[in-house]
Structure 1
Amino acid sequence: MYADLYVLGPGDGLQLTFLDPAAKEIGGPFGILPDGTSSLPLLGSVQLTGLTIGQASRWLSSLYGKQLKRPQLYLTLITPRPVKVSIIGEVEKPGLYPLPPFSTPVSAIQQAGGITVNSDIRKVTLRRQAGIDGSQKQATLDISQVLLNGNQLQNPVLFDGDTLIIGFTKEVPAEIREIGASNLAPTAISVTILGEVKSPGSVSLPANTPLVEAIFRAGGPVRWRANKNQVELVRFSRDGKATRQTFSYNDTTNLSLKNPPLRNGDTVIVKSSVYGKVLNAFSDIAVPIGAASSAANLVNTWYFYRNWNNNNNN
């Protein structure tokens, strides 16, 4: 089946093996050159780019049939070329991605920054070039079955030139949303935590770290000053729009809609309690008073020095 799916291209390394022992010397390893051709014994330059392995095997058998009595052969892929896959739709960073050989849709989506909140991982379209004429085939994959049941048939190996299209939906079941956000994301994210925490600033966290754990990693809320019922999560969409949601801090809350997994670029703001607001207001007042007091002391010192100097001179 693999031989009927993989489309050959420049950079592939292949092995040619003849069934006839007398043709053993003709076989051996060869590669596909940047122009899409391969140089083969008895045949010279042969165009193989755009053919599947199965199609290339039949094509070479027909060509060698004009040179050999027993042209039956095996063609195997020994070094696949680097894979470039287009990932579009509901991912955080759509685009063209170079991937290691034998990458799958799950690892590709992770490379593209993970899914969006409106991603439908039950409907992921895989488009693939079907042959030398440029025709395409496509299939619909249900990635949720990979994550829920381990169904690897829904997570096939990607080939160079494939396109993944992650579908859009406004109605994502909670179970699908949570498991997708937990698995289809990069390994680390950067989050900014501000407000009434002990160590505010940007922190690097494992992907999908829950909101409560992120606050804990920033030192936790400042006692008395933090309003644990006013924790704001600010998240920007791909089009630059900001969404704001308010949560409560409870260090016993499990991962849920009340304790959502964070994403790269999120900002968490722990707002001030009434007591904290009073302290902040007092601080705002105390600073100018302190500055005024310092200025008054400076003036008094100058007058004292001037009078002392005049008395001594007289």
Structure 2
Amino acid sequence: MSVLHQPFLQPSASAQAVPANKSGISRAADAPTAADAYLLGPGDQLLLEIFDPVAKDLGGTVEILNDGSASLALLGSVILEGLTVNQASLWLSRLYSRYLLRSDLNLRVVRPRPIQVSVVGEVQSPGLYSLTTTEVSQTTGGPATTISGLPTVVTAIQKAGGLTLSANLDDVLLRRRLPGASGQLKEIDLDLLALLRQGDKRQNPFLFDGDTLIIGKAPSLDRDVMELAAANLSPQQIKVNVIGEVVTPGSLDVKANTPLVQAILAAGGPKTFRAKHSNVELVRINRNGTATRELFQLDYNQGVSGPRNPPLRDGDTVIVNRSAYAVATDALGAVTTPLSGLVNSFAFIDIFNNNRN
């Protein structure tokens, strides 16, 4: 059976208004996603209705297969992937006009496919994610929330575990495929800071299958931005380890963006005389498996600051090292403990001999 490929159909007027560069990627301007149309793809279930009473039985449920084609009566296999619903309707009407006197038809999506989007950059777990109209969204360590409705940019970020502390909220890029068989893409700049501060919902558009969301990296930490992002774009809770010369060393569950000093206080604070305030280590495991080690000075008057009192990330380990006094007393104890045991043994023998006498 022959396969009828889709013709070259021009994108919508809004898409044409954006010039493409040599790489085939266009840059969008104001309100760039408002006129974007849903593109058909494998997994979509369609309902085809033909208005000609004689050919009414030719309609029915149609599903797009993995190769982008759909099997239709009279026509055989027709490629519909990459077309909008309107473009597919015009294309099928043109094909049916070869066999029917009246080729008017109605085509609509009755069960959209789960969309797959790529979320990369400054998120906790970058990668490829499938999103549905009923999504359980949960940032790392945060409560699970059921979201009903079409997936948005915020939904995808939450699905990827939330933003990292280095995320730049006004440097978010959405890359989207244009309609048609050309495979051209367009890029859309988003400002999540405007969404959080001003409630600008245009910065949180609905996502389409194949979208790529790129979160940029901020040149420096911004406390105000971190507090805003923590509302629903960052992990609500993280797990860190505080060990060494603290009152209660071990693993702690703390709020996201908790600074190093606050985590030490949550572990009971440094031990008197034993903790060296000028020698606090932060050990962090990077995404590539390597570890970084930084030294800090414990300063209760220091606010959140990357160089002096950094916000902690999930999995960080804080080590409060020993003071010179603690090193000396531990060394003395290591030497005298065996001797004290020997003295106690001699005393026990002496008592035993005295009892015998």
TM-score range, shorter chain: 0.7 to 0.9
Q: What corresponds to 2:158 in structure 1?
A: 110
Taking a change above 3 Å as real, the CA distance of residues 172 and 297 of structure 1, as seen in their structure-2 partners, is closer
| Deviation at residue 224 of structure 1 after TM alignment | 3.7
Q: Where in structure 2 are the equivalents of 1:116-265 lying within 5 Å?
A: 116-130=164-178, 131-171=180-220, 173-205=222-254, 207-209=256-258, 214-215=263-264, 218=267, 220-221=268-269, 224=272, 233-238=282-287, 240=290, 241-246=292-297, 248-249=299-300, 257=305, 261-265=311-315
Q: What corresponds to 1:294 in structure 2?
A: 341
Secondary structure (helix, strand or coil) at the match of 2:251 reads: strand
Q: Where in structure 2 are the equivalents of 1:262-301 lying within 5 Å?
A: 262-270=312-320, 278=325, 281-298=328-345
Secondary structure (helix, strand or coil) at the match of 1:51 reads: coil
**Partner deviation per Cα, 1:74-132 (whole Å, 9 max, x = no partner):** 33333332332222333344333333453322232333344344432212111122232
Percent of aligned positions that are identical: 45
| Deviation at residue 229 of structure 1 after TM alignment | 6.5
Point out the more displaced range, 54-63 or 257-266.
Answer: 257-266
Secondary structure (helix, strand or coil) at the match of 1:290 reads: helix
Gap runs ≥5 in structure 2: 1-32, 134-149
Taking a change above 3 Å as real, the CA distance of residues 4 and 142 of structure 1, as seen in their structure-2 partners, is closer
Amino acid corresponding to residue 198 of structure 2 in structure 1: N
Whether contact under 8 Å (2:230, 2:256) holds in the other structure is no
Q: What corresponds to 1:29 in structure 2?
A: 61
Cα distance between partner residues in 2 of 1:298 and 1:265 = 47
Cα distance between partner residues in 1 of 2:311 and 2:226 = 11
Length, aligned pairs only = 302
Structure-1-length-normalised TM-score: 0.75
Taking a change above 3 Å as real, the CA distance of residues 245 and 236 of structure 1, as seen in their structure-2 partners, is farther
Amino acid corresponding to residue 248 of structure 2 in structure 1: S
Cα distance between partner residues in 2 of 1:99 and 1:221 = 43
| Deviation at residue 293 of structure 1 after TM alignment | 2.2
Cα distance between partner residues in 1 of 2:294 and 2:53 = 70
Secondary structure (helix, strand or coil) at the match of 1:183 reads: coil
| Deviation at residue 242 of structure 1 after TM alignment | 4.0
Taking a change above 3 Å as real, the CA distance of residues 188 and 112 of structure 1, as seen in their structure-2 partners, is same
RMSD: 3.9
Cα distance between partner residues in 1 of 2:43 and 2:71 = 13
The structure with the largest helix share of the pair is 1
Gap runs ≥5 in structure 1: none
Cα distance between partner residues in 1 of 2:192 and 2:318 = 30
| Deviation at residue 70 of structure 1 after TM alignment | 3.7
Cα distance between partner residues in 2 of 1:184 and 1:222 = 33
| Deviation at residue 10 of structure 1 after TM alignment | 1.5
